[in-house]
Amino acid sequence: MPKRATNILLALAIFMLGGLLWSRAVLSISMGLMAIYAIYYLKREKETILSPLFIWSICPLVLILLGIYQEGFNPSNLQSLLGIMVYPIAGITAIAAEKYSFTKTISQPWIHAAMIAFLYPLGWFVLHAGDAFVLYGQGKTLPVFMDTDHVRFSIFLCSALLFTLLPVSNARYKKISFAILLIAILFLAVRTGWVIAALIIAGYGIYYLQSKPAKNRNRTRNILIVIITLITILAITPTVQQKIRYTIYDWNNYNTKGYDSTYSDGVRRAINTVALKAIKEDHATAIGWAAIPSTMQQKFTRVFNGQSTQYGWPFNQWLFWWMGSGWWGMVLFSVWLFYPAWYGYKYKNPYLIIWTLAIAFSCLVETTINYQYGALLHVWPLLVCWQTFKKSSN
């Protein structure tokens, strides 16, 4: 039975990853199948689900109501509610599959899928090198899977990068996989991915230094190798250099000319400025999720002299929660978001801390958890890390 349950979980994981890369419909179906799997094995094994992991995973269902009660379960709010269902589904699956090698069964195909998915932008670069460098110079990146959502795709690559560091037994080619994924993240030239990769390396480096004896010769050698390798990669990677130049240009352009919809950083600054003004000047707080788009667009038109915007919420998860649920909702959201980091600190699980901080960073410049891809890339890697030190998951 354990072998059969593990094989079914593996098949569902591959199905989920296929949906993540190629089809939202398949991704949604996979969540339903995961729920059926979890409920079946929870009942069969008569497992108890009351645990910090389960409580954390169902909290989003309560928190989301803080922005729904204002207008009720209209189509927009129902969409938000459906999107957040991935958290309890992932939670009960992690509990049900704890004894069925949950960490290894999810993390290994995840790593393989990330490396396979990278072949698409790499192949496009090889065939369209000239166009690719033009895109880099404009602050853009290469075509990717996941509906060309390059920010979420970079988070996907980073989650796979973290998985290569997990203490999973019998996992092959971990060092090679780590190197390939790190190069892929740099090559893709998405700054969110760069920062998350840096957090992963720094976080794991601190854990590594603490776990190895200070006089261990291999420790010093490994640290020097990593530092030299990273400096070399940064120095010779043209995508890194172009992205840095674009970033400086974009910020200078906003500071001298103001808002320009053709740039990325300036747009983010403008949208977040409008959101903060709406909160402070118009007291647009606790207005509900459905009211945020119209509030943002009306305020944007007033602030920027009649110009319009296509964006319906801020590029910051905390501003979004502040507008939709009020400051108290934002505080509760923050407690929920950072709880896994505290749990990881308490039980000496560095991977849980790293991924919590990684997603929190992304939430500073994106409303990561508002998107189907973002919510899935938050919860599944987090729960894989949560279950890492369970004896049965290795």
pLDDT of residue 228: 76
pLDDT in tens, 164-199: 999 987 777 888 999 999 989 988 889 999 999 999
CA distance 180 to 186: 10
Closest of 207, 235, 236 to residue 223, by C-alpha: 207
By CB atoms closer than 10 A (0-12, 13-18, 19+), residue 26 is middle
Which of residues 348 and 48 earns the better pLDDT score?
Answer: 348
pTM listed for this prediction: 0.93
pLDDT band for position 214 (50/70/90)?
Answer: low
Q: Mean pLDDT, to the nearest integer, of 198-211?
A: 88
Q: Mean pLDDT, to the nearest integer, of 100-108?
A: 93
For all residues of the chain together, what is the average pLDDT?
A: 89
pLDDT in tens, 292-324: 999 999 999 999 888 888 888 999 999 999 999
pLDDT of residue 138: 74
Contact assessment for residue 368 and residue 218, using Cβ atoms and an 8 Å cutoff: no
Closest of 319, 323, 311 to residue 363, by C-alpha: 319
pLDDT band for position 216 (50/70/90)?
Answer: low
Q: Mean pLDDT, to the nearest integer, of 190-217?
A: 84
CA distance 153 to 374: 9
Contact assessment for residue 225 and residue 179, using Cβ atoms and an 8 Å cutoff: no
pLDDT in tens, 50-71: 899 999 999 999 999 999 999 9
Residue bearing tokens 């915007």? 309
pLDDT in tens, 1-19: 578 999 999 999 999 999 9
Q: Which range among 46-55, 99-108, 230-239 shows the weakest confidence by mean pLDDT?
A: 230-239
